[in-house]
Amino acid sequence: MLIELWGVRGSLPTPLTTGEYREKLKKVLSLAAKEDISSDTGIESFINSLPLDLSNIFGGNTTCVSVTSDSGDICILDCGTGLRPLGDKLIKDEKFMKGADISFFITHTHWDHIQGFPFFKPAWMPGNIIHFYSPVADMQSRFEYQHDYRFFPRKLEEMGSQKNFIRITPLQEIKIGNMTVDCIPLRHPGGSFAYRFRENGKTFIFATDAEFTGEYLESLNVENKHFFDNSEILMIDSQYSLDDSFMKFDWGHTSYTMAVNCALRWNVSKLILTHHDPSYSDSQIASNLFEAVEHRNVSNSDKPEIFTATEGMQFEL
């Protein structure tokens, strides 16, 4: 199972501004003045030594994650603006030019989770078959509404691919190649769903757009709690710093501290913090990661290993 991150922002796309780019440059050049960067080797070594927020751009696209089975079946979680570059990659593969099956698993249909679909090139190509899985009864009408001429110049039915909308129920197991996929509902305004992917005894869980609190954790029934237990990788909503989470109670998102608490409680091996707030700079996101690690360390645990979601990041199970 290969997991690839294409969009990691929450709420709306957040391109890097010229001001932010110049600020990064100033910090990098200030550090470079103290180093030997007179050779390609020196330059590469210097770049690798930079702090996380200077050596990386976490990305400004909204939520999209691909999961590819060992047999090559592709599943896509959500259709944020990260779906556009994923589509550009897929059409370089001949099978997506001639006809292939693509399975989407939709957490919910807030703007930032569907706004990339009209720009997904494989959906415009005849022969491709796109399956939308979700517990939402009117998923097709929601996508059709997004393509209304008031909002987009082409109707959903004008896209060349065949589109199938499949309603599933929580904990119903769906087979995609060798993978088994199921879901449970999450606490979020308008509703959302967490998806679990299992293959060869390994588990990846995607649980964005949820407001996990101590009270909510206690309210999870035993069956749903076991949904999260012992996964190799948990990618979870951690949009807010701890301070911001107090000011945005009931907005439907989680702090990085509570994300760590969830992972500790569920005995997760790797934790990926995602759905970064659009107002957060790369420096703030990096700071959230470091503080999340400190929070884990205070719990006297070296598990889970913690990552902050970054466009282009890959994990293999």
pLDDT of residue 231: 97
Q: Of 115, 144, 171, which residue is a domain's last?
A: 171
What is the per-residue pLDDT for 235?
98
pLDDT of residue 95: 87
**Cα–Cα distance, 79 to 206 (Å, whole number):** 14
Is 110 a member of any domain?
A: yes
Mean pLDDT of 164-187: 96
What's the number of domains the chain is made of? 2
Residues 116 and 237 in one domain: no
| Residue 43 lies inside a defined structural domain of this protein | no
Among 136-140, 174-178, 242-246, name the one with the lowest average pLDDT.
Answer: 242-246
Dihedrals phi, psi of 287, to nearest 5 degrees: -60, -40
Q: How do residues 14-73 score in pLDDT, each as one tens digit?
A: 999 999 999 999 999 999 988 878 888 888 989 999 999 999 999 999 999 999 999 999
The string of pLDDT tens digits covering residues 220-236 is 765 677 899 999 999 99
Is there a domain that residue 244 lies in?
yes
**Mean per-residue pLDDT for 239-253?**
71
pLDDT > 90 fraction of the chain, expressed in percent and rounded: 82
- Per the listing, tokens 């503080």 go with 291
Please name the amino acid found at residue 287.
S
Whether 124 and 267 map to the same domain: the answer is no
Confidence of residue 250 (pLDDT cuts 50, 70, 90): low
Contact (CB, 8 A) for 102 and 176: no
- Residue range of the domain that includes 94: 1-11+60-171
Residue 94's pLDDT band (cuts 50, 70, 90): confident
Tell me the pLDDT tens digit for each residue of 191-222. Answer: 999 999 999 999 999 999 999 887 787 777 65
Stated pTM of the model: 0.94
DSSP state of 12: S
| Structure confidence at residue 241 (pLDDT) | 75
Indicate if 100 and 166 belong to the same structural domain.
yes
The CATH number of residue 107's host domain is 3.60.15.10
Q: Are residues 252 and 115 in the same domain?
A: no
Same domain, 271 and 124: no
Residues 58 and 68: beta-carbon distance below 8 Å: no
Name the pLDDT band for 278 (thresholds 50, 70, 90). very high
Same domain, 67 and 155: yes
Same domain flag for 125 and 270: no
One domain for residues 236 and 166: no
What was the pLDDT predicted at 247? 63
CA neighbor of 270 nearest in space, from 308, 307, 316, 229:
307
Any domain includes 317: no
Question: Do residue 142 and residue 216 come from a single domain?
Answer: no
Same domain, 166 and 231: no
Among 107, 110, 61, 104, CA closest to 84: 61
| Residue 86 included in any domain | yes
90 found inside a domain: yes
Token pair in block for residue 203 = 């588990």
Do the domain assignments include residue 5?
A: yes
For the chain, the farthest-separated pair of C-alpha atoms sits apart, in whole angstroms, at 61
What mean pLDDT is predicted for residues 130-142? 98
Residue 176 inside a domain? The answer is no
